[in-house]
Structure formats: structure tokens, C-alpha cells
């Protein structure tokens, strides 16, 4: 039987493009999101790319950190062979501006939900001998000191910690965990969440705006890398260099990263 892929946050952006990338590999799809209409549209487009079934589940993962959604998915389609934890909230903004409710929602959807689903996935596959793939979408903010991104960074850093902490346990299994750490994706978040905090006419800000990654290309790279068993995927190549520099010279890196941001 063809592999079953479960993707959260599949109604738009990178999640949508991941649905198409997996569909092109003739895998069965189970797409999750809150908007039934948008999910149905993505499912119709994905169905044109594959002969395998495409199913959708409109659900709010915040209700119980995804536990009921997992149970419904398993009851309907079986245990997924591949789980992609993509659903997230931006979480950008000054700490003083975010309400407690907004901050808690970011931490829940970006951290509690993917870690809950990851645990359920690992428990389902721990003793099986066929390969399975767990893909968690983190962010460059989980590694870099981005201004005005405290809750975004905290929520994504947890996924990196989970990857490091679970590596020893997973090495005796056939579960392949890959954590994706992209920089800016061209999904509209930069203009809405980051640009308002940047200095006007900053050269670095302009470079950032023009360096946003194409979600379709990122999705293709994620699928290829995950199925090869890669553990960490940093995108693009320039970010790999920046991440390495940040580890070697964190104080200098922090000053460079903060340069295009305005103070309040």
C-alpha cells in the first residue's frame, strides 16, 4: 500500500505546497487545517497530481493539542507513515504588545501541538520495522537572536530541543526525524509581521525582502531530504553559513542581525 502522509496547516503556504510535493510522489494524503473550504481547494488540486486518495480534516488543533485530530485521522485512514507538523502562528511582535492570550496561543500551536503529535507518531511506530518519517517545521528564529520575536523564537527552539533530546531513543528505531529550519518564506508573513519593525530604507531590510524563499521549492527540498533520512535541513545555503557564524561568534552575530531593526 502507498504511504500515508498527514500534513497539518495544509490549507495555504508551505503546507499547501507540501501537499502537492507529496502528491507528485503518488502518496496518500490526509490534509489538516481549520478552513474546510480552503482545504477542499488544495485537495482538489493535489488530486490532479496523484492517483492516490486525498482526504481532508477541518479541525482546530488548539482544542486538545491535536489528540482528538490524531485519533480521528487514525480511525479514518490508519496510522500515517509520514507526519508533517507544519501548522503554526507567526508569534512576532514586541513582548509588551502581545496579549497573554496571544502569546499562549503561539506557544500552544507552535510547540505543544507538534510535540504532542510527534509523541503519538513515535509511540505508534516505535516497534514497527518499516521506515516512517517525522518532519517538524522549526524556524531560523529558533537559533538566531531575532528582535521582536521572543515568543516565535521560544516556540520554535523547543522543536530543536526535541530533535536533539530524542535522537538517542530514535536511533534504535526505523523512525526518521527531520527538523526543518528555513529563513524567510514568501508566504506574506514578512510584510505583515517583520517589516513593521524594520528601519525605513534599510539596505539589509531590502535584501531580506528579496531573499524570501519560494514555498514550492522549499517543499520539494523537504520531501527529498526527509526521504533520504536527513536530520536537519537549514535553508537556504546562506542561512547555513549564518547559523554556523552565530555559533562561533554570537555577540557579533547578534549585532549584525539587530542592525536593520528600529528601536522603540
Per the domain annotation, does 127 fall within a domain? yes
Per-residue model confidence as pLDDT tens digits over 3-25: 999 999 999 999 999 999 999 99
- pLDDT interval class at 262 (50, 70, 90): confident
pTM, entire model:
0.94
65 confidence band (pLDDT: 50, 70, 90): very high
Q: Which residues contact 182 (CB under 8 A, 6 or more apart)?
A: 137, 139, 140, 213, 218, 234, 235, 239
State the pLDDT confidence band at 201, using cuts at 50, 70 and 90: low
CATH of the domain at 58: 3.40.50.720
**Residue 263: inside a domain:** no
**Quick one: pLDDT at residue 193?**
65
Residue 139 inside a domain? The answer is: yes
- Is residue 42 domain-resident? yes
What's the number of domains the chain is made of? 1
Whether the bond between 181 and the residue before it is cis, its omega within 30 degrees of 0, is: no
Query: How high is the pLDDT of residue 70?
Result: 98
Domain range spanning residue 151? Answer: 4-258
3-state per-residue secondary structure call for 72-111: HHHHHHCCCCEEEECCCCCCCCCCCCCCHHHHHHHHHHHH
Amino acid at each position: 500500500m502507498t504511504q500515508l502522509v498527514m500534513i497539518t496547516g495544509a490549507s495555504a503556504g508551505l503546507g499547501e505546497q507540501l501537499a502537492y510535493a507529496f502528491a507528485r510522489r503518488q502518496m496518500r494524503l490526509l490534509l489538516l487545517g481549520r478552513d474546510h473550504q480552503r482545504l477542499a481547494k488544495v485537495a482538489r488540486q493535489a488530486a490532479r497530481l496523484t492517483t492516490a486518495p486525498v482526504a481532508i480534516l477541518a479541525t482546530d488543533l488548539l482544542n486538545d493539542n491535536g489528540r482528538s485530530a490524531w485519533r480521528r485521522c487514525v480511525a479514518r485512514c490508519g496510522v500515517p507513515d509520514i507526519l508533517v507538523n507544519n501548522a503554526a502562528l507567526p508569534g512576532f511582535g514586541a513582548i509588551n504588545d502581545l496579549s497573554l492570550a496571544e502569546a499562549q496561543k503561539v506557544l500552544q500551536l507552535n510547540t505543544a501541538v507538534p510535540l504532542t503529535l510527534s509523541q503519538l507518531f513515535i509511540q505508534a511506530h516505535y516497534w514497527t520495522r518499516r521506515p516512517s518519517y517525522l518532519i517538524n517545521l522549526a524556524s531560523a528564529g529558533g537559533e538566531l537572536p531575532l528582535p521582536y520575536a521572543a515568543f516565535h523564537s521560544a516556540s520554535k527552539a523547543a522543536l530543536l530541543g526535541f530533535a536533539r533530546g530524542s535522537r538517542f531513543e530514535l536511533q534504535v528505531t526505523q523512525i526518521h526525524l527531520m527538523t526543518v529550519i528555513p529563513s524567510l518564506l514568501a508566504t506574506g508573513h514578512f510584510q505583515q509581521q517583520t517589516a513593521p519593525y524594520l528601519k525605513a530604507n534599510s539596505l539589509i531590510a531590502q535584501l531580506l525582502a528579496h531573499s524570501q524563499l519560494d514555498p514550492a521549492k522549499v517543499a520539494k527540498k523537504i520531501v527529498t531530504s526527509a526521504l533520504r533520512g536527513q536530520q536537519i535541513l537549514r535553508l537556504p545555503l546562506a542561512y547555513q553559513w549564518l547559523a554556523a557564524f552565530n555559533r562561533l561568534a554570537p555577540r557579533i552575530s547578534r549585532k549584525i542581525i539587530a542592525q536593520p531593526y528600529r528601536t522603540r
